[in-house]
Amino acid sequence: MSQTHKIGFIWFIPLLCFLVSTSNAEIAAKPGVNYGQLGNNLPHPETSVELIKTLKAGRVKLYDANPKILKALNKTDIQVSVMVPNEIIIEIAKNQTLADEWISTNVVPFYPHTKIRYVLVGNEILSQPDNVTWFNLVPAMIRIRKSLVSFRLRKVKVSTPLAMDCLETSFPPSNGTFRSGVTESVIRPLLEFINGTKSFFFIDVYTYFAWVANPAEIKLDYALLEPGKTRYTDPVTKLVYTNLLEQMLDALFFAMRRVGYPNSRIFIAETGWPNGCDVDQIGGNIYNAATYNRNVVKWLTRKPARGTPLKPTVVFPSFIFALYNENQKTGPGTERHFGLLYPNGTSIYEIDLSGKTEEYKKALPAPTNNEPYKGPIWCMAARGVNVTALAGALSYACGQGNGTCDPIQSGGKCFRPNVLRWHASYAFSSYWAQFKKAGGSCYFNGLAVQTTENPSFGSCKFPSVTL
């Protein structure tokens, strides 16, 4: 998941899957989990695989082809998706030998004992600024598939996960349209490839980011898939929607219909809700995360399947994002709080990805941040961080802006106590106060945290951001 496609995007952007065979429907009724590895405190692969089993996940998606994880998945019944890194897509598009080497190294040694079912070429490519890679995406997918065929791995499908910004318009759903700049050059060839190889259109869909971009217009219960509370009627089709996910999915279906591929099979590559967030964000909490993920699992595993208002019989193969809270993900606090599990392996809340659990025993903590926080916020150095890294971040912050760190210079009002963490906290708060409106964040590679407790004392006044 990247942050690029989520902020500032209009509230409806979708995905979907049209399955008609009984076998496909049965497979699709087993939601899986995305296994990210951007953390320095995550369990070993063997432990992680056992935890995936306890979640009753039917499949797992990796963001690479980590051999230790693939080995740990050996002889399990968990279906696996591996990923070709974005950085080599252009080279693979031009070089069949490189494609062959990648498959030979990352798939052949593990197949079939590890149930690799999909090779995903890149991740959210159309959200990246490098448009040269955009136009090499489908050629690279063609070469990867040719490699799989040459190794007689015909059961392994090829696709690529896209973000919701592949759509130019998405509201109302009947107006769903792909981006004009990539429709003919990327989307149409991609859909042609997917349909020709009987693969899936992998796409990430987050009702959270649609809601947070427009909370005044979108009801929270509608984004959380809470049944029977809010409805929306498309003014053109008169189709009635009872949750935001279905509305987003149908927007994608209409976009596919517009380019001549109304029945392409869609795979939900990512969906989920953050269990925590920064003070200046809203709605990231355990209550909402548990509510959304439980509801979406229930929605995905309904029997008989009930798809969307436009496609009422579809079934959605899917992955929930993510296995762990990952402390090395960059960006806003939500990015580090999408896990079903803490890094120590304990559950953040009860969840059963099989959909068989109808009631959960433990009460959820009441949400406290569903409305925007109003008041000042300071940016402080986190406790227990690397001293060398903190000194480097202090130096960076002081080098920005106008007089950012003057009060912590010798003789300044905030020089005392002459302690690194204190000086860094002042520098971080001062930097954030100056540059937040220009995109500056209170993050500093994980060295900083937001607080509503005023650290000022005496004549030393810390700058703050006021919401």
User: CATH 3.20.20.80 region(s) of the chain?
Assistant: 22-336
Q: Please, what sign has the CA dihedral across residues 399, 405, 406, 412?
A: negative
pLDDT at residue number 141: 98
- Nearest C-alpha neighbor of 43 from the set 34, 52, 32: 52
Could you say which of 87, 91, 124, 453 is catalytic? 124
pLDDT at residue number 29: 63
pLDDT at residue number 197: 97
CA distance 339 to 364: 16
Active site residue 359: no
Active site residue 270: yes
CA distance 381 to 338: 23
pLDDT at residue number 402: 86
pLDDT at residue number 130: 86
Query: pLDDT tens track of the chain, all 467 residues?
Result: 654 444 333 333 333 333 333 334 445 568 999 999 999 999 999 999 999 999 999 999 999 999 999 999 999 999 999 999 999 999 999 999 999 999 999 999 999 999 999 999 999 999 999 899 999 999 999 999 999 999 999 899 999 999 999 999 999 999 999 999 999 999 999 999 999 999 999 999 999 999 999 999 999 999 999 988 899 999 999 999 999 999 999 999 999 999 999 999 889 999 999 999 999 999 999 999 999 999 999 999 998 888 899 999 899 999 999 999 999 999 999 999 999 999 999 999 999 999 999 899 999 999 999 999 999 999 999 999 999 999 999 999 999 988 999 999 999 999 999 999 999 999 999 999 999 999 999 999 999 999 999 999 999 999 999 98
CATH topology of domain 22-336: TIM Barrel (3.20.20)
- Burial category of 169 from C-beta neighbours within 10 Å (exposed 0-12, middle 13-18, buried 19 and up): middle
pTM value? 0.91
pLDDT at residue number 17: 34
Rg (CA), the chain: 23
Could you say which of 50, 184, 217, 270 is catalytic? 270
